[in-house]
Amino acid sequence: MEFKNKIKISPSILSADYAALREDIEKVKIAGADMLHVDVMDGHFVPNISIGPPVVKSIRKSTDMVLDCHLMISDPYDYIDAFAKSGADLIAFHVESNSNIGETIEKIKSTGVLPALVVKPKTPAEAVFPYLKDIVMVLVMTVEPGFGGQSFMEDMLPKIKAIREEASKTNPSLMIQVDGGIVPETAKLCIDAGADVLVSGSYIFGAENITEAVNSLR
């Protein structure tokens, strides 16, 4: 997958208006966002419920943006086919989930979707090291997953650095995504630590000028 920007922005539709999703997606596309971050929550892995494959399918029909699906669900393996068929381009699942990590990565690849792994704040960087060569992206959560609008956890910066350093040996093209509390100040800290994909929900969708908000993060 080729992107024109070195620092890629992936607006999280968790903070969009789900009843006006087409318009909201159009706004971030016009603003120059590189992907669209789709938060999937099952009310079990995280204490919140969001959306599932039927909504991803509808989004797929209404945009050609890269769909970056963040699965906050207990058993991601069981739902890979459903999300792949719905039109996901990239699927990120948690190392803390119940699914076998290697098998789930293989399953994602077999559907032609790009695989990524996610680490919650309390999970150390080393948890993803064995898989770096098999995935295209690591998502470092910079808040506890479940809700938009939380404050950035600055103590996640060393984790980003550690993953970037390890990836320089095993997978130099690995993307590192950050998610949670991303605003211009925290975006800069993450970029300096080695992140190159920034998820942002409340900051982008809450902005009066969405194009300015997207540009202010890069």
* Catalytically active residues, by annotation: 39, 179
Which residue lies nearest Zn ion, judged by its C-beta? Answer: 70
- 179 binds Zn ion per the rule CB under 5 A: yes
* Encoded amino acid at 42, one letter: D
Residues within window 31-50 making contact with Zn ion, judged by CB under 5 A: 39
The correct pick among 181, 197, 198, 214 for binding ligand DX5 (CB under 6 A) is 181
Question: Is-contact 10 218, C-beta < 8 A?
Answer: no
Residue of 86, 177, 186, 200 interacting with ligand DX5 (CB under 6 A): 200
* Residue 15 interacting partner from Zn ion, ligand DX5, none (CB closer than 5 to 8 Å by kind): ligand DX5
- Say which entry of Zn ion, ligand DX5, none residue 202 contacts (CB below 5 to 8 A, set by partner kind): ligand DX5
In this structure, the number of other CB atoms found within 10 A of the CB of residue 135 comes to: 22
Tell me which residue has tokens 């040996």.
169
Count Cα neighbours of 158 within 13 Å in the Cβ-side half-sphere. Answer: 5
Return the residues of window 8-37 that contact ligand DX5 according to CB under 6 A.
Answer: 12, 14-15, 37
Compute the distance between CA of residue 200 and CA of residue 15 in angstroms, rounded to an integer.
9
Strand segments, DSSP code E, in the chain are 8-11, 35-41, 66-72, 90-94, 114-119, 137-141, 175-179, 197-200
Instruction: Tell me which residues in 68-87 interact with Zn ion (CB under 5 A).
Output: 70
| Chain positions contacting ligand DX5, by CB under 6 A | 12, 14-15, 37, 39, 70, 143, 145-150, 179-182, 199-203
| Chain positions contacting Zn ion, by CB under 5 A | 39, 70, 179
